[in-house]
Amino acid sequence: MPDYSYIARTVSGTEERGILAAGTEQEALGLLAGRSLFPTQLVPAKTATQAGLAGKRVSSRLLANMYSQLGDLLQSGVPLLRSLDLLKQQTNSPALKEVLADIQTQVGDGSRLGDSMRRHPRAFSELAVSMVRAGEEGGFLEDSLSRVATFVEHQEDLKGRVIGALVYPLFLAGMGLIIVTAILIFLVPQFEPIFERFREEGTLPLATIVLLAISDFVKAYGIYVAVAGVGVWFWLRSYLATEAGRWRFDAIRLQAWGLGPIVRSLAISRFCRVLGTLLTNGVPLLASLRIAKDATGNRLLSTAIGNAADNISGGKSLARPLVASGQFPPDVMEMIAVGEEANNLEKVLLGIADKQEKLTQRRVDLFIRLLEPMMLLTMAVVILFIVLAILLPVFQSSSALN
């Protein structure tokens, strides 16, 4: 979502400057009108990355600690600017210090904290920005920061578990690739003189012919394949940095075998958590949806939620347009529909978020448990094929002698 820099007049006639996040210029004008501001200038703002001010990555653990400390300071009555200055002074991370300095400058110039954080997409996730914006809209910023700290710590714990569980399968895959490549380059060619007589007689087994062809290809073109792989990797990184690439990647993530349900459950839990928190704190549904849609981390789901918000503004329910999008599970939609009818949607959404997080953890554990035996089975099949391809001509020779 782009940022817009504005200069506006308040009802009393004083000038106010700042930056706000909005999808279009019309939406930005609507947000300013909602704040009783009369803009005299509204132009697209450069992000901190574009301006060369920041755009640096910051450790998630450091960010979780920063969210928690900032929430505690605000809860104790310390002003926001003073709190940011204290955090900037005490951090030992140069990247975080630079990011906090820019945020402090923007807030001092009249920008909201959420809008200032959005200028640093490599440091702050969409979920964190959405939760901070929710807290600012609903007047519960301290609680939002505490929730963000809890979310980040939970995600880091989940990431640590996943990485720890993937170490062994990835080690197997890496060592297996190295061993198989070494066999194809150095071992298989040693048997070619032995297999030549069988080739001339036309009795060379098909498996051996395939193995020799693969070995010749790896020896002749292996280096080019490796270079091409590196080139494809860099091309993918640049493509995924574009808007079309991110859309395509988000669509693939939702459809990927094994990972798709995990990504979808995690995105839905984020959305329901943010939306339920907003509604609990009295933020209107339409405004809550426009904030919570960015918390999914997936553009397809965000678009579906944005379309649902447009339909709600026309007087329709939330569940019906979400069902029509086809992006949300039927059981989740049924619970949302019941929550709307019972007038306790916020409690239902928080309950959905808890269930989806537990479901995500179970799916991650199952995926990892299945991955390890699949890797072992794949390696066993490859090694068995190589051994059989080498030994079959020997067995044929022994049979002919007998």
pLDDT tens per residue, range 380-390: 898 889 888 88
3-state secondary structure of 285: helix
State the pLDDT confidence band at 232, using cuts at 50, 70 and 90. very high
What do you get for the CA distance between the two ends of the chain, in Å?
77
Measured between alpha carbons, how far is 319 from 316 in angstroms, rounded to an integer?
A: 9
* pLDDT (mean) for 220-249: 89
More confident residue, 397 or 218: 218
CA dihedral (115, 121, 124, 128) positive or negative:
positive
Mean pLDDT estimate for the chain: 81
Tokens of 82: 């003073």
What's the burial of 382, exposed, middle or buried (CB within 10 Å: 0-12/13-18/19+)?
middle
3-state secondary structure of 21: strand
Q: Where is 73: in which H helix or E strand? A: helix 60-75
3-state secondary structure of 205: coil
Measured between alpha carbons, how far is 5 from 294 in angstroms, rounded to an integer?
A: 20
Measured between alpha carbons, how far is 196 from 216 in angstroms, rounded to an integer?
A: 14
More confident residue, 155 or 400: 155
Supply angle C-alpha 224, 229, 232, rounded to 5: 125
pLDDT tens by residue, 162-196: 777 778 778 888 888 888 888 888 888 888 887 88
pLDDT of residue 230: 93
- pLDDT of 277 > 70? The answer is yes
* pLDDT (mean) for 207-225: 88
As assigned by CATH, the class of the 151-402 domain is mainly alpha
The listed range with the strongest mean pLDDT (128-142, 152-166, 208-222) is 208-222
What percent helix, strand, coil does the chain show, rounded to 5?
Answer: 75, 5, 20
